[in-house]
Amino acid sequence: NAGVMQNPRHLVRRRGQEARLRCSPVKGHSHVYWYRQLPEEGLKFMVYLQKENIIDESGMPKERFSAEFPKEGPSILRIQQVVRGDSAAYFCASSPARDTQYFGPGTRLTVL
């Protein structure tokens, strides 16, 4: 049984570039969540998606950030025009229903 997969595991971008983070949920899970973790801090909720729908994006910055979970393929978290403050670990979690969330290994984004 494959767990939640995220890629890339590490991503380096220069200020102003775009970052694309991918998340493949556990097979059969249709609910995906994205969280951000700053160094030495807890995880902060960003967005909750079901297939083709954004359910809750209350934790996601209004500008430069977007997320999608298409009918086919992985969920994508996109950050446009990255700034140094975007440097963090981004975690994806999935669940089969509105229930227990299982996390992936994360993508560590570094903005130079």
Partner 1 sequence: GENVEQHPSTLSVQEGDSAVIKCTYSDSASNYFPWYKQELGKGPQLIIDIRSNVGEKKDQRIAVTLNKTAKHFSLHITETQPEDSAVYFCAASIIQGAQKLVFGQGTRLTINP
Instruction: Select from 17, 22, 68, 103 the one that contacts partner 1 (CB under 8 A).
Output: 103
Identify which of residues 18 and 56 has a Cβ nearer to partner 1 in the complex: 56
CB of 81 to partner 1, least distance (A): 26
Q: Applying CB under 8 A, does 42 fall inside the site for partner 1?
A: yes
Question: Considering the rule CB under 8 A, would residue 102 count as an interface residue with partner 1?
Answer: yes
Give the span between the Cα atoms of 99 and 78, in whole angstroms.
25
**27 vs 98 by CB, closer to partner 1:** 98
Nearer to partner 1, 19 or 47 (CB): 47
Contact between 72 and partner 1 by CB under 8 A: the answer reads: no
Order of strands across the sheet with 19-24?
Answer: 5-7, 19-24, 75-79, 65-68
Euclidean distance between CA atoms 13 and 59, whole angstroms: 23
Q: Say whether residue 69 binds partner 1 (CB under 8 A).
A: no
